[in-house]
Chain A
Amino acid sequence: MSVAKNISQSESNTCLAMGNHAIARAIVESGTRVITSYPGSPTPEIGAALTSVPKAERSFYFEFSVNEKVALEIAAGASLNGHLSCVFFKSVGLNVASDSLIQQSLMNHIGGLVIVLGDDPGANSSQNEQDNRHFSRMSYIPMLEPASPKEAYELYLEAARISREKQMPVFLRLTTNVCHARQLVSFGGLIRDNYSWPSRYHRDNGPYFPVTKDVFPLKNNALKKLETLQSTANRLVRQYSADTRTGLGVISCGLPALETLEVSEAAGNKVSVLQLQMTWPLPKEAVLAFLSAHNEVVVIEELDRVMETEIKAMAFDAGCTVCIYSRPSSEIMGELSRHRILKILSSIWPDHFSASRKKTYETFTELPPRPPQLCPGCGHRSAFFAASDILDDTSIVVGDIGCLTLGALPPHHMGDILFSMGHSVSTAQGLALKNPSRNVLALMGDGTFFHAGIPGVINAVANQSNITLYLLDNATTAMTGHQSRPGNGEIGEKINIPALLKSLGVGFIRQADAYNQTLLKQYLQEAFEYDGFAVVIARHPCMLKLTRANRRKDPLFQLPPVTFSAPPDDVDEKRILAFGCPSFQRGPNGEMTVNEEMCIGCGACLPVSLSGVIQRGAPVRASGKER
């Protein structure tokens, strides 16, 4: 069954669902009307599932907004107007949204607002592994944490219910292996209604204007709402009792709770496990009852000691004599696993758990690593290749987020510094202050430019910063799966980047196709010589997106791979390796060959060879249309 069918089918049904798809189904089932997002792993499949439903059949409004703060504000605004709303994004997206987030608990959300977070313990696809549970404490927003796709579905419905009932925002915190996990999930039915989109905003439902002393009644209200959640928190617990009375217990949440349970069961089920589904505010009664029923307890949580600290305080205040152990400090980093949990438990309770000796298998054979790389045909590669000829050893290149982050890897080595999305121009401005002898180049993609890059550009223009922005425009949000961004896609070419830059007062703007090496090099040289803030735009459509689109039309679509008319000489070989297209591989005798399965025939490499030995291949005879 297709994902679209899965989430729009009226009847209740059971299917093998990914966590993200289960969330999408819950969004539709709960009658959530406005959903916004900014794409980022591990959550973009929620958006893909929602947009797979044809627009005419949607009972909801959905958009990928320009950034997470904008997305949150749209969802919050819709909620103040009475519509149940949801915003979802990745872990670090909450940093961007946080300026408006903190006010949300002060607002009387008459529609309801669910904030779905995709945290990334282990930093699988993020610049850090921040623990967003801290945000719930800072913003007075309750938090639910599912451990599986099934719980993700159930707890979204719960979050929507709480939010609507209490008229307060609710966090639903997912982690990578809850988002991407698959299991059988039973979905309820959908109620088809003709939602008339009534506008229910009224200032009497507020006030919605927290300034100076008016903040305090609103804050008081937020704190009171939190206090009313104890009965819900105490209901949202799962207790798995040990078979034998060892007096040992684990308090946990999310995927690690089920991993702990599996470890314990495999070792003879000697430990009780208390899984908390509401992790802020903590369920006092359930936790204290569990503590007093056990002699020794460990809190197993991924990343920071958030619950552990609070549970210890709770035990102290209640005069509870239970012994609460800490995880070793080495365990507050990275994603947990059953092996890691077994290691923790065996270090604390060696009589009940024994971690097998860790075998290392890495000694047999050296295997080359496989870092991710830019796709064949990627315009970023061509842009990096052109820049590498212009930059010297003293140049400073500031990287940014997106596919171009991969430029930091060999063979490109483009990008030395990385903070966050859109930081590059302002960071470059700082590096260039009173530093006229070194060229400073800021890299940025088009998606990131719209997301958070524009204020930095304005600042650089206003302060006449002598830096160059190298804007790599592939006309899409490529890294996260080609979601539309304000300059393209569903809403068309509404915002023209060079025109925007011009209107901001940028005095030097040049653009060229990224494959045009001569022009790019000339422009970069001129930009470095230019006195003031300069922008060079290297444009080329995302070739992964283009190739997929072509193959959707014709499954056999393939441009002929390039060939060598003669073996490349040493200079050419060096240049081809510096270019780094993965289609160029080593033959059995170390000679350079073209991997025809990989080459998309784009011709980006033609200008790389100085002697012209790379040639376009002969057209392929076969085509799907012939059959």
Chain B
Amino acid sequence: MTMTVNILICGVGGQGIGLMGEVLCETLLQAGEMVMATETHGVAQRGGIVTTHIRYGKGVRTPKIDAGEADFVFALERLEGARVARHMLRPGGKLIYYDTVQQPQSTRAHGVPYPDARVVKEMCRARGVEASHIFVPNLQGPQMQNVALLGYIATRRLISAVTRDSVRNALLKLLPAKVRAHNLQVFDSACGYALKAQKNHDCQVSLKDNADASKEDAATIRSFPIIAGA
């Protein structure tokens, strides 16, 4: 059995954090890991912070991850990625986030600075953790960002049980038939995008503006039909 691994998934209510957690749990179960997980609910779906905790490996009896213990933080929103990574990652841990922005009230009303990707990277470096992100240009339907992030995680092989095939299988199992095809398309395109980005050595942190993504990459994604999720 592997040593304990702690994964935190976070974002803003309504981003599909629950599904992402279920998919990762499913891939880990298929790989024979003993998994425990828990998730925050309550008022979370009203634009608040949502987290899913996943723990597996030797000695795991309980589902909650404590501060400074997470090996990975997978975030669906930049600010929440930064916040949770800062508080929860262990030294040397990794933050991977989908680079979308949902400004909180104080930013909108009082101009409280919202961190840009460079600030997040610097913060993480100072904190002794690694940060990288993905953004898929022209991804229609924000409900698909979770699947795009899964594509990135699977392609980068961050967790041995989480591969392109295992995530695909989990999506097939967990998604309702109606939205399955669309989700798999987004997943595949995100995998392709991540692979290309990796080859170009800009996978760690693409500090470039998202609009700078090579025209070729953007075109690849654009060629997919309009996409939406559950």
A-chain residues with CB within 8 Å of residue B226 when the two chains form the complex: 556, 622, 627
A125 touches B37 (CB 8 A): no
A337 and B105 in contact (CB under 8 A), knowing A180-B41, A367-B82, A374-B46? no
Q: Are A177 and B38 in contact (CB under 8 A)?
A: yes
Q: Within 8 Å CB of B123, what residues of A?
A: 364-365
Q: Is A16's CB under 8 angstroms from B59's CB?
A: no
Residue B197, interface by CB 8 Å: no
Bound CA–CA A551/B228 (angstroms)? 9
**Cα distance, A364 to B83, chains bound together (Å):** 11
CB neighbours (8 Å) of A580 from chain B are: 105, 108-109
Q: Which residues in B have their C-beta under 8 angstroms from that of A359? A: 68
Contact present for B225 and A627 (CB under 8 Å): yes
**Interface digits, B52-96 against A, CB 8 Å rule (1 contact, 0 not)?**
000000011111101110000000000110110011000000000
Chain B nearest Cβ from A59, distance in angstroms = 25
Q: Does A411 contact B (CB under 8 A)?
A: yes
User: Contact at A16–B29, with CB atoms within 8 Å?
Assistant: yes
Closest to B116 in A: A588
List the B side residues contacting A338 at CB < 8 Å. 62, 64, 66
Within 8 A of B (CB), among A343-394: 359, 361-362, 364-375
Is A258 at the interface (CB under 8 A from chain B)? yes
Contact A555 B229 (CB under 8 A): yes
Choice from B109, B119, B228 contacting A555 with Cβ under 8 Å: B228
Which residues on the A side are within 8 Å of B140 (C-beta)? 622
Q: Check A41/B41 contact, CB under 8 A, given A262-B61, A368-B112, A370-B79.
A: yes
Q: Are the C-beta atoms of B66 and A590 separated by less than 8 Å?
A: no
Task: Give the most central of A255, A361, A411: most B CB within 10 Å.
Answer: A361
Q: Are B111's CB and A586's CB within 8 A?
A: yes
A97, chain B: closest CB distance, angstroms: 21
Residues of A within 8 A of B29 (CB): 16, 184
Tell whether, in the assembled complex, residue A125 and residue B38 are in contact, meaning their CB atoms are under 8 Å apart.
no
- Select from chain B the residue with minimum beta-carbon distance to A15: B29
B35 touches A16 (CB 8 A): yes
Is the pair B86, A337 in contact by a Cβ cutoff of 8 Å?
Answer: no
Does A124 count as interface, using CB distance less than 8 angstroms?
A: yes
- A183, CB-defined interface residue at 8 Å: yes
**With A359-B68, A556-B226, A577-B109 as contacts: A182 and B104 at CB distance below 8 Å:** no
Instruction: Give every chain B residue within 8 A of A622 (Cβ-Cβ).
Output: 140, 226
* CB-CB under 8 A for A406 and B46, given A364-B126, A368-B107, A372-B13: yes
In the docked arrangement, what's the CA distance between A571 and B229, Å? 38
Q: Given the known A-B contacts A124-B40, A265-B59, are A370 and B49 also in contact in the complex, defined by CB atoms under 8 Å? A: yes
Whether B45 is near chain A, meaning CB under 8 Å from some CB there, is yes
A484 to chain B, nearest CB (A): 18
Give the nearest-CB partner of A178 in chain B. B38
B207 / chain A contacts, CB cutoff of 8 Å: none
Q: Known interface pairs A182-B37, A372-B47, A555-B179. Does A125 touch B42 (Cβ–Cβ under 8 Å)?
A: yes
Interchain CB contact under 8 A, B46 and A577: no
Q: In the complex where A42-B41, A370-B12, A406-B43 touch, is A365 in contact with B119 (Cβ < 8 A)?
A: yes
Give A408-436 as 1s and 0s: 1 = Cβ < 8 Å from B's Cβ atoms: 01110000000000000000000000000
Q: Count the B residues whose beta carbon is within 8 Å of the partner chain — how many?
A: 68
For residue A237, CB closer than 8 A to chain B, the reply is no
Given A259-B62, A373-B46, A555-B179; A586-B108 close (CB under 8 Å): yes
A180 to B21, CA, bound (A): 12
Residues 607-627 of A contacting B (Cβ, < 8 Å): 622, 624, 627
Min C-beta distance of B69 to chain A, whole Å = 8
Q: Is the CB of A367 within 8 A of B63?
A: no
For residues 95 through 109 of chain B, which have their beta carbon under 8 Å from a beta carbon of chain A? Answer: 100-109
Q: Does A266 make an interface contact (CB < 8 A)?
A: yes
B28-39 interface bits toward A, Cβ cutoff 8 Å, 1 = contact, 0 = none: 010000111111
Given the complex of chains A and B, what is the CA–CA distance between A231 and B8 in angstroms?
42
Q: What residues on A are CB-neighbors of B102 within 8 Å?
A: 582, 595, 598
Q: Which among A181, A361, A585, A627 is the interface contact of B36 at CB below 8 angstroms?
A: A181
Give chain B residues whose Cβ lies under 8 Å from the Cβ of A627.
Answer: 225-226
* A512 to B83 Cα, complex, angstroms: 41
Q: Which residue of B lies closest to A342 (CB)?
A: B66
Q: Does B25 contact A (CB under 8 A)?
A: yes
Q: How far is the CA of A624 from the CA of B46 in the complex (A)?
A: 27
Q: Are B111 and A184 in contact (CB under 8 A)?
A: no
Q: Please determine whether A337 and B61 come into contact, CB atoms closer than 8 angstroms.
A: no
* Residues of A with C-beta under 8 A to B101: 585, 595
In the complex, A598→B83 CA distance in Å? 21
State the Cβ distance, A514 to closest chain B Cβ, in Å. 17
Q: Are B43 and A368 in touch, CB under 8 angstroms?
A: no
A339 within 8 A of B: yes
Query: A479 in the interface, Cβ–Cβ < 8 Å?
Result: yes
Interface residues of A in 105-154 (CB under 8 A from B): 124-125, 148
Q: Are B36 and A375 in contact (CB under 8 A)?
A: no
Asked whether, in the complex, the Cβ of B106 is within 8 Å of the Cβ of A368, the reply is yes
* A42 pairs with B127, CB closer than 8 A: no
Q: Once the chains bind, are A125 and B43 in contact (CB under 8 Å)?
A: yes
Per-residue interface assignment for chain B, residues 10 to 31, with 1 indicating a CB less than 8 Å from any chain A CB and 0 otherwise: 0011000000001001100100
Which residues of chain B are near A317, meaning CB under 8 Å?
Answer: none
Does B105 lie within 8 Å of A373, measured CB to CB? yes
Contact with A along B103-144 (1 / 0, CB 8 A): 111111101111100010001001100000000000011100
B208 within 8 A of A: no
With the chains together, A584 CA to B103 CA distance in Å? Answer: 9
Q: Answer whether A367 and B79 are a contact pair too, CB < 8 Å, given A411-B105, A584-B108.
A: yes
B156 interface contact, C-beta 8 A = no
Chain B: CB-nearest residue to A410: B105
Q: Contact: A556 with B41, CB < 8 Å?
A: no
Determine if A590 and B111 form an interchain contact, defined as CB atoms under 8 angstroms apart: yes
Contact yes or no, B86 A362, CB < 8 A? yes
Query: Across the interface, do B225 and A577 meet the contact criterion of CB distance under 8 Å?
Result: no
| A261 is an interface residue with CB less than 8 A from chain B | yes
Verify A364–B104 contact, CB threshold 8 A.
Answer: no
A233 within 8 A of B: no
A358 to B39, CA, bound (A): 24
B67 touches A339 (CB 8 A): yes
Contact in complex: B228, A367 (CB < 8 Å):
no
Minimum C-beta distance from A346 to chain B (A): 14
Q: Which of A246-275 contact B (CB under 8 A)?
A: 255, 258-259, 261-262, 265-266
B86 lies within 8 A of A16 (CB): no
Closest beta carbon of chain A to B225's beta carbon, Å:
6
Answer whether residue A536 sits at the interface, using C-beta atoms and an 8 A cutoff.
Answer: no
Residue of A41, A370, A597 near B80 (CB, 8 A) is A370
Q: Of all chain A residues, which has the CB nearest B85?
A: A361
Nearest opposing residue in chain B for A262, CB measure: B61
Across the interface, do B43 and A479 meet the contact criterion of CB distance under 8 Å?
A: yes
Residues on B with C-beta less than 8 A from A265 are 59, 61
The contact of B42 among A124, A259, A410, by CB within 8 Å, is A124
In the A-B complex, the 5 residue pairs with the smallest Cβ-Cβ separation, listed nearest first, are A125-B42, A372-B48, A373-B47, A597-B142, A370-B104
23 CB < 8 A contacts A-B: A16-B25, A16-B26, A41-B42, A42-B42, A177-B38, A182-B35, A182-B37, A265-B61, A338-B66, A361-B86, A364-B86, A364-B126, A365-B119, A368-B107, A370-B48, A371-B105, A372-B13, A410-B106, A555-B229, A580-B108, A582-B108, A586-B114, A597-B100
Task: Known A-B contacts: A16-B26, A182-B38, A585-B103. Give 7 more (CB < 8 A).
Answer: A1-B173, A365-B119, A369-B106, A370-B48, A371-B105, A555-B228, A627-B226
